[in-house]
Amino acid sequence: MRRFILVLTGVLLTVLFTGCQSNPSGPDLPGTETIIPGDIILSEVMPDNEKLTLGHELEWIELYSRDEETVDLSHYALTDDLSQPNAYPLTGLQIRDGEYVIVVLPENAPFHLSAEGETVYLTCQGNPISQLTYPASTKGESFSSDGVCPYPTPGQANTSEGYLAYLEGLTLPSLMISEVMSSGEGHDWVEVKNNSDKPLDLSLYTLTDKRKEPSRFSFPNVTLQPGEHYLVYCSGTPSLGENHASFKISSEGETLYLSDNGAFCDAVVLPTDLAKNESYGRYGNVFRYFATPTPGSENGEGYEQAVSAPGSSHASGLYQEPITVSLIGSGTIYYTLDGSRPTTQSAVYTQPILIDKPVTVRTFSVENSRVSDTVAYTYGVGIAHDLPVVFVSLPQSSLTGEATGILNHIEQNFEYEAQLTLIEGGEEKFSLPFGFRLHGNDSRKGAKQNFQLRFRSEYGAGSLQYPLFENRDFDEYNSLLLKGGSEDFTSALLRDELATSAVDGTTALYAQAVKPVVLYLGGEYWGIYYLRERFSDDYVASHFDVSEDSVDIVYSSGGYAQTGSAADFTALKNYVKTHDMTTDEAYAYLCDRIDVNSLMDWYICRSYFGDRDLANIRRFRTSEGDGKWRWMFFDLDWSFYVTESPVAWFLNNYGGDHVLINALLKHPKGKDAFLKRYAELMDTILNETYLNSRLDSLIASVRSEIPRDRQRWGRTEAHWEASVEKIRAYLKDGARTEAVKADLKSYFSLTEEEMTAYFGA
């Protein structure tokens, strides 16, 4: 669920302005500690609110959070002048992932948005972290970083769906404009309705077609009962009666304003394509066209007047030869070929387009004042692959741009809108806009980086709905990963996929599903990648069929909250540090709060595979389940190298959750359960036969693509084959199993009889 906060109350504004006066410039916002800015962006601005969005004329600025953690905005501010970076402090506000904050600029605001166009900045401790530049505004338009928004959408995504959501969430005024006729057989008319539950004195209201002349028509001294309607005839001849206005309504479209005691309270923007004898008005909170007008009574359902998105002469897919694509639709068709979202500043379609390389065509059309949805057609011209093909289409400047290119600035969390398309079996399976960013830590430093795919409503789709993985019984994802081997990309390319897929569904661990694909990034071949699930509140919600708000995820050995709170997990660790874990009471306390097998499996599988990157750890729980902590299994790029890697090192290293596992092992029941579980897993998945079978399956899925991938990244096929053989050597003749048994015998001081009892002869 996406929410928004409206910063409008007088109390809050007073606090903000007080902060502004005491800190007119410089980085001295409340608190002097240096903080890492959250991933917050300026998503929309309204410099000239003549359409009365949010029910008033005031300017507003919209912020949007892409940060997984809740961000305290006390260190943030808004400004249009970097010499005054803290002009409008956002003291007392917080923003969550996927949430909007709308900051309204009343008359006494410290700065105002120029209708002539300017740049607005979001600052953190006096430093700009996001900016939005907009041109001159002449029609009450709002702006995003893409330019003019098709519709103002405060608190919602800048899409047609977001606009409907904004309208449906509005609280309509007590007296509202309910229906308008601008071109009929008789006089033009405006119908108003008492939308409240009390009688209204109409003499307090005025109506106009000119914003600067709000009192062109004053309502007579009439009391309108709840639910009643009143008609104003826009005849241009007020002498005809007290309900006749001195103006007419343009059939070419204009805006009508209703005022209450001199303050605008409602407005209706008439479309330019309203046909003769049609009316336009409200059906619920949304606006509709009415073929049968209903002056003086309730409106019917009406219909939506929409422009169809452009079609194409060629379906998305793989083509061996160049093709000539025709776009089909009404109005003016705009399009891009570089992956960017088209705007009215983009190329205008006038003739068929020659496609001779991998390209995504993104297009929409405009007819009169109506705007179609944006659609995309992806053509993989001149390519052929056995694997499914993923196209990530975005401008080259977003990838390699000197200032903000994702691939050149690995220390930043830049995110750009892109188009994601999956073509499998020669057919497009899905295509949608999404947020594209780097993923990982050390793997960012490699040439073949990993990426996050974030499906956000701000781009047009809040989630991907497609059955992407065969071993998952759900088909909706808020985010995904594209992993290209991570730190193993120069070697076997699949160590992490081997380790994590081996435990997926066979242990009490939670892993990321795997789908091998070929990636084309910005039209360029990028090699073998794996589509993976991404660990998030959405992951837990899908796997456990619970709400995202019920989820706590704690990451790293330091125990930081990724989602929700880390307080309970920290308290649990403190408990085991301060209690005698050899007692039954303390042991039961721990077992009641964790999935014991999940913790043990994390250490058992990690130690068997030999991956020592223990600090990269995540645990989760949901308050709608049993409340127990469970462990996620990921980042196994360093697995299957040193057969003799000792189990004792994993159990006692400061990384991971050694405090919890050793607390468990201090009790005889915990030690016994651990050894039995290790033996059970070595009988099932932690053995040469099973793991070689998994390895064979992974190799078969990508084998045909290996030569081209290795060439792309400056490696040889022979080197890849040798790397795969190193994995087999790690397991060969039960080498790892025998090394583990010897470690366990030594570490736990087991007798031969105990070894036989646990692990057999």
Per domain, the residue ranges of the chain are 4-168, 175-290, 311-533, 549-759
C-alpha span between 450 and 407 (Å, rounded)? 10
Provide the token pair at 129. Answer: 């972290």
What was the pLDDT predicted at 9?
35
Provide the token pair at 702. Answer: 């990508």
Higher pLDDT, 510 or 654: 510
Which residues fall within 8 angstroms of residue 585, CB to CB, at 6 or more apart?
A: none
C-alpha span between 393 and 526 (Å, rounded)? 12
C-alpha span between 454 and 444 (Å, rounded)? 18
What was the pLDDT predicted at 138?
66
What was the pLDDT predicted at 1?
39
Share of the chain above pLDDT 70, in %: 95
Q: Is the pLDDT of residue 8 over 70?
A: no
For 324-392, the DSSP string reads EE-EE-SSEEEEESBSSPP-TTSEEP-S-EEE-SSEEEEEEEEETTEEPPPEEEEEEET---SS-EEEE
For the stretch 706-745, pLDDT in tens is 999 999 999 999 999 999 999 999 999 999 999 999 999 9
Section 574-596 average pLDDT? 98
Assess whether the region 4-168 and the region 175-290 belong to the same CATH fold: yes
Q: Is the pLDDT of residue 589 over 90?
A: yes
Report the chain's mean pLDDT, rounded to a whole number.
Answer: 91
H/E stretch holding 624 reads: none
Residue 606 · residue 614 · CB < 8 Å: yes
Q: Is the pLDDT of residue 137 over 80?
A: no
Which residues fall within 8 angstroms of residue 611, CB to CB, at 6 or more apart?
A: 499, 635, 636, 637, 638, 639
Residue 379 · residue 357 · CB < 8 Å: no
C-alpha span between 536 and 557 (Å, rounded)? 18
Which residues fall within 8 angstroms of residue 331, CB to CB, at 6 or more apart?
A: 307, 365, 366, 367, 368, 370, 372
Residue 515 · residue 530 · CB < 8 Å: yes
Single-letter code of the amino acid located at 99: E
H/E stretch holding 318 reads: strand 317-319
Section 253-266 average pLDDT? 91
C-alpha span between 508 and 597 (Å, rounded)? 6
Q: Please state which CATH class domain 175-290 belongs to.
A: mainly beta
CATH of segment(s) 4-168: 2.60.40.1260
